[in-house]
A and B are shown apart, each in its own frame.
Chain A
Amino acid sequence: MLTLSCPSCGANVDFKSKASLFAVCSFCKSSLVRQDMDLEKIGTISDLVDDLTPIQIGTTGTFSNEKFEVIGRLKVGYKDGYWNEWFAMLGDGRVAWLAEAQGFYAFCYPFFDVSPPTKASLTVGKTVDFGDKGIYEVDDIRDCKCVYSEGELPFNAQQGRASTSVDLSGFDKEMSTIEYAASETRVFLGAYQDFDAFQFKNLRHIDGW
């Protein structure tokens, strides 16, 4: 783990994953970009509107027999709501994402062995062939914006970062997300899993529950 000092307030900022290039200082909410051993402040993150999520930074869970720990959060809003993408680190240092919305949980890994289709070629109901990973069907396409971020993240997740998120579903509980951001397009493959199956620990306490 790498520990650096916040250039704004001097507090310790932890980087648990080597893949993390961005962090939010937990004390002064400065958004920080890491360049090797240097941290540069690029802005501040405004307060979160409580959204009743049971996940928090530090929550651990299990997916396909691998333990993971949540180390960062990207909250994304679109015209009909929002969802959370929790940045997670696996035991061997690999990284993945836990997507969470309205009680649905999906765990997915970045997937590089495919050249993603162009955004313009996708419409709801179309299928995308991911080779030996199977054929996926487009469920929805949403233009979204980063509305909140915390912890450490693998890219510059400043508030207002715009992207287009395409959700696809495969056989059974398999899912995929293609994210079209300004500078890059990334593909994630994973699966939905029930809350209980994750065996979450260190969940956030929700008042009244």
Chain B
Amino acid sequence: MVGNPGEPEQPDEKPVDPETPPPPSMPKIRSFSCPACGAPVTIRYPGATMSVVCDSCHSVIDVTNKNYEILSKYFSKTSLWCPTIPLNSRGKLDGKTWEVIGFMVRSDVASKYCWLEYLLFNPYYGYRFLTEDKGHWIFVTMIKRKPDNVYSTSVRVKTPSKVEMDNRVYRIYNRGISKVDYVIGEFYWRVVVGSEVNSADYIDPPQMLSIEYDDTEKIWSLGKHIDSKEVEKAFNLVPRTANLFGFGIGPIEPSANSAAWKKMGPLWALFFGFLTCANIFFSGTAKNMVATEYYGNFVPNTKINDITIPKFVLEKNSANVLISLFAPVRNSWFYVSGEMVNNTTGASYPFEMTSEYYFGTDSDGAWSEGNATHELELSSVPGGEYYLNIDTESGDFKNTNQQQFSIVVKRDTPSWYNYWWFIFLVSLPPIYSWTMMRRDEVSRWANSDFNPYVSDS
């Protein structure tokens, strides 16, 4: 005698645990003769089952009463379809034991695309479906809840393009009419071969929401991807060496590449943001000091050797140096080669610079090229006293009067060189990740009428 609810539980009370049943005994089966062909038909779960398929003639028989009315005659001589998981086998999926009691082949009316469905039964937990679509398995649970439309519109749409449930947004994958092509086993409803129902699938890998609806009811179900190895293990199937079909990724099969991209994208944004902030900081705090300004005279179209620019001081332990050359070039050029020398250590930084500027007019109009100012950056120059040794050359000057050129040396200047290089380097892995993700997603959506990777035109 069980105590009243609310009273302390009695210790000798043995809870019935559906997971560890006592040694299996055969369920109460019921047999009768097929009204179409006379062969014996057995019902394994009378009371729960409403229709059963005769093994020999494949007629579907209503077993809700003793009239055994035939729901559809299906005098198929040979069995056209063989289920991958045999009927009446049991396996553990989603932590519970299920028995395969029914098998259906269904197809999309428009495309003739077909897939297999297994009806699973557990008297404690009810019914589940396992769908098999070219080597991809989905474990389907009917739900009483209804997903929300993502776009709430005043118009009631039965199959919007996106639906939401439990903070997941599911995107429409297929919409059509599903037809029952073939059945064997027993079912908790009156299954009719050839019957059609409106359906739509929404995906958010590794989950799927499906709806089947007609004028009087809408039934939602939640599907979850199951690895084919898990199904093989659960039902002791002979493992397939590889996916025989090789049709790429399933509609809700998780993609490691897509999962990686979901993290790589934000990480990239993080690194990008950090580098940008850091560069703004370092540019803003750069001292940008003028170390020396030198103005020298030159006679155009001649060479001058061994000009020494007087000593100047570069502050800070280590920083960059920016050398700017300006010469009054007009369709002419001015060239400097030289070195910056540390007065103490003798360390030398050779450089070459050219100021050239050209312009003119041709059949396409006015043009110009080059720049009278040329800047050159030197990386990480230690602090100390420096001087410059330079040679100059020039050419193509029309005006050969003596003219003036200038060289300005700046210390610790802001620059963007590093920034762009680092952005490039930090972007390489995400670009690879995105490419791989896209490859998988294109394959995933290849069978969908709502493929986002194909333009509508």
Contact = CB atoms under 8 A, between A and B. Distances in A.
A50 B28 contact: yes
Contacts of A200: 16
Interface in B174-207: 188-190
Given A49-B46, A91-B7, A202-B16, 18 more contacts: A50-B46, A54-B124, A58-B1, A60-B5, A68-B5, A80-B50, A103-B124, A103-B125, A104-B144, A140-B216, A140-B217, A172-B145, A201-B2, A203-B18, A205-B16, A206-B124, A207-B25, A209-B123
Contacts of B365: none
A104 B28 contact: no
25 contacts: A50-B46, A53-B123, A58-B2, A80-B189, A81-B50, A104-B144, A124-B216, A137-B146, A169-B144, A172-B145, A195-B124, A201-B16, A202-B2, A202-B13, A203-B124, A204-B16, A206-B21, A206-B27, A206-B123, A207-B26, A207-B27, A208-B27, A209-B24, A209-B27, A209-B124
Contacts of B48: 51-52, 102
B5 A90 contact: yes
A102 B16 contact: no
Interface of A: 16, 49-54, 58, 60, 66-69, 80-81, 89-92, 102-104, 106, 124, 137, 139-140, 169, 172-173, 175, 192, 195, 200-209
Contacts of A92: 6
Most A C-beta atoms less than 10 A away, residue of B13, B26, B122, B144: B144
Nearest to A139: B217
Interface of B: 1-2, 4-7, 9, 13, 15-16, 18, 21-22, 24-28, 45-48, 50, 64, 97, 122-127, 144-146, 188-190, 216-217
Contacts, number: 112
Given A175-B144, A202-B16, A208-B25, A52 B5 contact: no
B124 A102 contact: no
B5 A69 contact: yes
A204 B25 CA distance: 15
Given A140-B217, A208-B27, A104 B126 contact: yes
Contacts of A50: 28, 46-47
A137 B148 CA distance: 13
A90 to B, nearest CB: 6
A69 B2 contact: yes
Complex A-B, nearest 9 residue pairs according to Cβ-Cβ distance, in ascending order: A103-B126, A91-B6, A67-B5, A51-B47, A208-B27, A203-B16, A52-B123, A91-B5, A52-B48
Nearest to B126: A103
Nearest to A191: B144
A91 B24 contact: no
A195 B128 CA distance: 14
Contacts of A16: 4
Contacts of B22: 205
A173 B125 CA distance: 17
Contact of B188 (A102, A124, A203, A204): A102
A202 B97 CA distance: 20
B125 A195 contact: yes
A58 B16 CA distance: 13
Contacts of B16: 54, 200-205
Given A80-B189, A201-B13, A192 B2 contact: no
B15 A201 contact: yes
Contacts of B15: 201-203
Given A103-B125, A103-B127, A202-B16, A207 B28 contact: yes
Contacts of B7: 91
A195 to B, nearest CB: 5
A126 to B, nearest CB: 12
Contacts of B122: 103, 209
A54 B19 CA distance: 13
A51 B2 CA distance: 23
Contacts of A51: 47-48
A169 B26 CA distance: 38
Contacts of A137: 146
A200 B2 CA distance: 12
Contacts of B217: 124, 139-140
